[in-house]
Amino acid sequence: MQIALIGIGKIANYQMQAITHTPGIKLVDAHDLDLNKAEELPGSVQFHENLEKMLQKSKADAFLVSTPTNSHFEVAMRVIESDRIAIVEKPLCTSQSEMDALLTAARTRKLPLYTAFHPAYGREVDWWREQRNSHNFDLGKLLGLNTCFADPYYIDGKLTLGAVGKAGAWTDSGASGLSALSRLIEPDSMKLLDGRMTVIPSLDCDQVQGLGIYKFVEQGMTCYGMIDTNWTLGKNYKTTHLRYEGGLVELDHAKELATLHQEGQDNLVFNLATDKPRLVNHYCGVFSDLTSMYAKGEDNTELSEVLHRLLFAAMSH
């Protein structure tokens, strides 16, 4: 599969590294509004000053939209309206009406549409899925969970440089939390119970904090879970706690660590980090899944629709 990149910023750097580690995918073209970004490309990738021309001329099978979140809708729509396939960095867009318009445009043209949910491919998430599937630990039924995605993007009353390109704590990290959970519980069973957003009108972001409370069904039992996203804690802290009848599983998404707390036993700590940066590991998962979906003529639009509905429902609650 050949792809082209739109937006050569911080995340594109990790995406380009992951592409070199993933068999079956190659970056051939790229575009950015900032022409200086051409210098960040490897020699094998052709830079295009004009998006329209790249969409017309490129031999890429799909176009990866890695521009700031608030521009995802406009850029992805231009890709789709050019009858080309879009892969969009999460979140796909920032409102339900934008999502409906993108899905309609893609479906009308019978084009697949992919969302790159990188946090879903955390090594700690994969690890717990493997342990469960192999029945390596007997913790009984899941009772509930909480997920926190915090970044230090609001300090001393101001947004930090890390917030550049992001729409807001909930808009960006709510999508991250929901996508990680979608690999641990059944997303179709999730229903929003409450959404609480902290908006500071003088700041150029959707929210500095956001929380969603959901119920879901697991092994026939109704469980409750919370996703908390926060830019005001002043730290990079990303965890999921899964509370089972017989103990607690703590997945540290920032450190790629898993800790198992079992009743009456010493804690077990599993370090799942590799020699590659965490985000490169995530995008290796994204691209490996993407190439296999593309080969089968599939996409992840249905999952993306479910997760974004849950995301936007919390914003409008």
Ligand X SMILES: NC(=O)c1ccc[n+]([C@@H]2O[C@H](COP(=O)([O-])OP(=O)(O)OC[C@H]3O[C@@H](n4cnc5c(N)ncnc54)[C@H](O)[C@@H]3O)[C@@H](O)[C@H]2O)c1
Interface with ligand X (CB under 6 A): 6-12, 31-34, 37, 66-69, 71, 75, 89, 118, 164-166, 172
Q: What is the DSSP letter of 103?
A: H
Question: Which residue type is seen at 233?
Answer: L
Nearer to ligand X, 247 or 285 (CB): 285
Nearer to ligand X, 15 or 249 (CB): 15
User: Minimum CB separation from ligand X for residue 181, in Å?
Assistant: 17
Q: Which residue is nearest to ligand X (CB)?
A: 9
Nearer to ligand X, 171 or 239 (CB): 171
Other CB atoms within 10 A of residue 201 CB: 4
Question: Which residue type is seen at 285?
Answer: G
User: Minimum CB separation from ligand X for residue 237, in Å?
Assistant: 15
User: Minimum CB separation from ligand X for residue 265, in Å?
Assistant: 36
Say if CB 54 and CB 32 are below 8 A apart: no
User: Minimum CB separation from ligand X for residue 191, in Å?
Assistant: 26
User: Minimum CB separation from ligand X for residue 172, in Å?
Assistant: 5
102-137 burial, b for 16+ CB within 10 Å, e for fewer? Answer: bbebbeeeebbbbbbbbbbbbbbbebbeebeeeeee
User: Is it true that the peptide bond before 187 is cis, omega within 30 degrees of 0?
Assistant: no
Nearer to ligand X, 61 or 89 (CB): 89
User: Minimum CB separation from ligand X for residue 311, in Å?
Assistant: 13
Return phi, psi of residue 78, to 5°: -65, -40
Alpha carbon distance 268, 182 (integer Å): 25
Residue whose token pair is 């491919």: 121
Nearer to ligand X, 179 or 240 (CB): 179
Nearer to ligand X, 9 or 246 (CB): 9
User: Minimum CB separation from ligand X for residue 64, in Å?
Assistant: 10
Alpha carbon distance 83, 60 (integer Å): 12
The closest of 211, 248, 218 to 233, measured between CA atoms, is 211
Nearer to ligand X, 175 or 257 (CB): 175
